[in-house]
Amino acid sequence: MEIASSASVLGAIIGITQVLKLCGLPTRYAPAVSLALGLTLSFIALGVSPEATFAGIIAGLSASGLWSATRTTLAV
């Protein structure tokens, strides 16, 4: 994935996860949902391959960590 598409995928994962949390998803499941979304979006963009799997795992965990770090830093 290119850098621009990676950034948009991270934003999409964070946004979708937040919407699901507002709809009642327990917070403890948010990282697992982020990981699943990362894999799903990666498979859609790149097809099913080892590279897509690795990119999806990185995207999902990065989105989860990015949100957590931002929340902690800004004390939201």
Dump pLDDT digits (tens) for 21-74.
Answer: 999 999 889 889 999 999 998 888 888 999 888 888 888 888 888 777 777 777
CA separation for the pair 67, 17 (Å, rounded): 10
Structural domains counted in the chain: 1
Domain housing 27: 3-74
Nearest 5°: the CA angle 23, 13, 76 is 65
Nearest to 13 by CA among 71, 72, 56: 56
In contact, 24 and 11? CB cutoff 8 Å: no
Q: Is pLDDT larger for residue 5 or for residue 38? A: 38
């080892």: which residue's tokens? 50
Which pTM does this prediction carry?
Answer: 0.78
